[in-house]
Amino acid sequence: MRLALAQLSIESAAVDDNVERAVSAIETAAEEGADCVALPEIFNVGYFAFESYERAAEPLGGETHRRIREAAIEHDVSVLAGTIVEDLAASADAGEAVPAESGLANTAVLFDADGKRRLVYRKHHLFGYDSAEAELLVPGDQLPTADLGGHTVGVTTCYDLRFPELYRRLVDDGATMVLVPSAWPYPRVEHWKLLPRARAVEDLLYVGAVNGSATFEDASLVGRSTVYDPWGTPLASSDDDATVVYADCDPDRVDEVREEFPALRDRR
């Protein structure tokens, strides 16, 4: 699988412009041979635009997902539609299974190249430090995986990186790759460099950590989207400017590393 991490320039609350940038990045990545494109956390609204969450919330299959799904089909590429702020009541009204009857969630959706929805992941660990996320959103309770491009793919979101038990659950479900849409801000650059790499090392799998490129009123994102291999070696990375990062992620490599270094078999 050729994985592309679309480190988007994100404007606070500029939903149409932000989604248009995402669609453009999907087209660019597909032209460069990507099989799967991952977008950042709350890429359409901007993570730190808390005052806009309720107004910009959408159900599953809403306008943002419609445009991303159409781009996936048009360009014949799988897309992790980063995350959006999901209106759970509207999703429930449409017949979707949701963790609460009402409220908002930080929700990732993975579309395949046919536009089929392969998984829905709602962020489990909501950030409360210097952030309104934990006050505004409802946590998820499901941890799905999907088979894609020879990989078993899982998704976690940003702050979830600090909770390694979540990744061990994904490993137990066969995951060979975890995609991590994020909105990681300064000054915690070293944490952003350390935690995805640690998850790759301890779980012997690929980690694609995709961040945004943005400056909000009270925060700036560190960028530095990176793909790590099952040894924790960075295969491709960026600085903090908007760009697309590419890496080839061979699913057989996961089996080779786990056979060579069988730490997962030594768990007690």
Tell me which residues are annotated as active site: 41, 123, 158
Distance, in Å, from the CA atom of 9 to the CA atom of 176, rounded to the nearest integer, reads 29
Amino acid sitting at position 112: D
132-192-64-215 Cα dihedral, nearest 10 degrees: 70
Euclidean distance between CA atoms 248 and 34, whole angstroms: 9
Upstream peptide bond of 187 is cis (omega within 30 degrees of 0): yes
d(CA 200, CA 28): 27
Q: Pairing mode, if any, of strands 36-38 and 2-7? A: parallel
Q: How many CB atoms lie within 10 A of CB 244?
A: 20
